[in-house]
Amino acid sequence: PYSMKNAKAKRYTVDNNVGGANNLCCAVIDSEVDAHIVHLGTMGVYGYGTSGGQIPEGYIDVVLPGGRESNILHPAYPGSVYHATKCLDAILWQFYQKNDQLRITDLHQGIVWGTNTPQTVLDERLINRFDYDGDYGTVLNRFLMQAAMGVPLTVYGTGGQTRAFIHVTDTARCIDIAINNPPAQGDRVEIFNQIAETRRVRDIAQMVADMTDVQVDFIPNPRQEAAENELEVSNEKFCNLGLDPITLDTGLFEEVTEVVKKYQSRCDPTKILPASFWNKKRAAECASLDPNSVKISTAPEEVKSE
């Protein structure tokens, strides 16, 4: 959402992300080091439910005019300026692989949730950054934070958006797998779908609400997106290389909630509601949202588990 906040944020996002990708490729070429670039991207490059079926891993089979069959880079269908920069990055990877034979892996990652990996849990100082605001907070972590604070869960629109999710532990595991399975020089850009599963947003909100007895609020959607969508995604490559994905589990929700409770004094309730709007129409529809109306109540003493 930050990339949609205003014209300055849009320009910064494009300059920083696309320029950074290009600079990295130039640096690798000039260094004459046979480096393997691993890029942590986003599932948002595909759009949501636009493939007419399961989203493949990076490349899609097509039939060209005249009946010719081919396997091409999946068409881009970004939903934000941030997603658009990741689509532009993907084109840069394709060019530099073709032109300079760079070895590149692009990870199309789903929405990350959770706070700790088996390594970071060993010392409190290693706890991962936790964003709960409307610009940087990911949806499930936002819900868990709101529930721990006794704040109604903020579901955008109908909550019918289906999205791909991955636990932070699997994010680290996937990067490790990608690093240790580089493409050979001359091979096309390797692309993995870095996800564990897909879920509908309102269903996730209900899972959290059932666990915490917190109310679910459906608020105007600040984003320009379909109210409802289906999403089926292939993650076969990572699974074939040993990934056993962590799926949404209320037991793991408790770990996030405990971290939130411990640091609840740092929460600014005025940052909970969305503050970035995709266009003027969305901003007008969200005009009734008052960030100062959000009040933190006493969080439940215990989180119910199955």
Q: Catalytic residue positions?
A: 42, 82, 86
Q: Which one, of 71, 248, 261, 70, lies nearest residue 167 by Cα? A: 248
Q: Which one, of 75, 88, 77, lies nearest residue 13 by Cα? A: 88
Partners of 71 in the beta sheet? 61
Helices 250-262 and 201-212 cross at an angle (nearest 10°) of 70
Taking the C-alpha atoms of residue 276 and residue 182, their distance in angstroms, rounded to an integer, is 38
Q: Is 151 helix (H, G, I), strand (E, B) or coil?
A: coil
Cα 297 to chain center, whole Å? 29
Taking the C-alpha atoms of residue 134 and residue 26, their distance in angstroms, rounded to an integer, is 35
Buried-state track 139-148, b at ≥16 Cβ within 10 A, e below 16: bbbbbbbbbb
Taking the C-alpha atoms of residue 146 and residue 150, their distance in angstroms, rounded to an integer, is 6
* Cβ proximity of 75 and 7 under 8 Å: no
Taking the C-alpha atoms of residue 253 and residue 238, their distance in angstroms, rounded to an integer, is 24
